[in-house]
Amino acid sequence: MAQQLLLLLPAPSSSRTFSKPLPSPSPTLSSLSRRHRVSFSAAARRDLLRCGMKRSDLVAELEIAKDKQPHSRRANGIFWILLLNFGIYMADHMFQIREIKALYLYHASPTWYQFVTSTFCHANWNHLSSNLFFVYIFGKLVEEEEGNFALWMSYILTGAGANLISWLVLPTSSVSLGASGAVFGLFTISVLVKMSWDWRKILEVLILGQFVVDKVMEAARATTITGQSFQVNNIAHVSGALIGAALVFLVSRIPFSSNDDSHKATKESK
């Protein structure tokens, strides 16, 4: 029994080896690490402040550069003009909606809206594609330079003006349709709004102008139906170009305040 009691006695614990507390860091090491932490936090704070100042300066410079950069106009109106021409052509020739024929300009008894609507009508696919190619090129230039409203007004006024002169000159048995009066108007406007008295620009116009005009004359077509035959309406070509030049001249006479002046005025009011 005594042997059993002796066997049940716990063995000497080996935890005495771990009973001693861990040595605390020396005061010199703790103070040193404290100094490093303080110095690091101060340096990090200075760097963050410096970075923040640099970032704010960079943002300010970017905002100033953004204000100075001219705002480019996105061309959207030209695509609506193209879609309108294409939609009227599809309704006229593919779906054969009879009411579309009322949009043609009948010289014998014209209606006031036909001077405008006939510029969106075309006789066949070649007539449509050749005109819309140049409408897109020159119309996009006008819209990027002068804006959406100027594009629509240029298209309508030059096209309707060309039809008006054609109606005054051509026989009463004629029927006019096509956008080439507007094409030549947009071509003239796109050239004149970028024109300057720099001799290089004048030389470019003299050299390239005749070539471009010939190509546009070949492709752009204002069709006049006389009897049963289709004829190219050169009167509409010349009239559209002259009306485009007149529009640029008239608009240039209107005084406009520059963006810089308005920007300065808003600054002073603030």
Q: 107 vs 181, 220, 248, CA distance in Å?
A: 16, 21, 29
Residue 232 per-residue DSSP state: E
C-alpha 107: how far from its chain's center?
38
- 154 a catalytic residue: no
237, 239, 258, 269: the active-site residue: 237
- 107 a catalytic residue: no
Q: Show the beta-strand stretches assigned E in the chain.
A: 105-106, 174-177, 223-226, 229-232
Q: 56 vs 61, 146, 174, CA distance in Å?
A: 9, 36, 69
Question: CA–CA separation, 92 vs 99, rounded Å?
Answer: 8
Q: 144 vs 134, 137, 244, CA distance in Å?
A: 15, 11, 17
130, 154, 174, 180: the active-site residue: 180
The secondary structure of 46-74 as a DSSP string is: HHHHHHHHHHHHHHHHHHHHHHHSPPPPP
Active-site positions read: 180, 237
